[in-house]
Amino acid sequence: MTRKQLTEQIQQKKSYLLVGLDTDITKIPRHLQSHPDAIFEFNKAIIDATTDLCVGYKINTAFYEALGWKGWEIMERTVNYIPSEHFTIADAKRGDIGNTSSQYAKAFFETMQFDAITVAPYMGEDSIRPFLEYEGKWAIVLGLTSNKGAADFEMQPLNSGEHLYERVLQTVSEWGTEENLMFVTGATQAHELENVRGIIPNHFLLVPGVGFQGGSLDEVTKYGKNHHCGLLVNASRAIIYAGSGENFAEEARVIAQQYQTEMAGYL
93 classed as catalytic = yes
**End-to-end C-alpha distance for the chain, whole angstroms:** 21
Give the Cα separation of 8 and 23 in Å (integer). 28
Closest CA to 115 of 135, 95, 130: 135
Q: State the catalytic residue, choosing from 27, 93, 137, 225.
A: 93
Residues marked as catalytic: 93
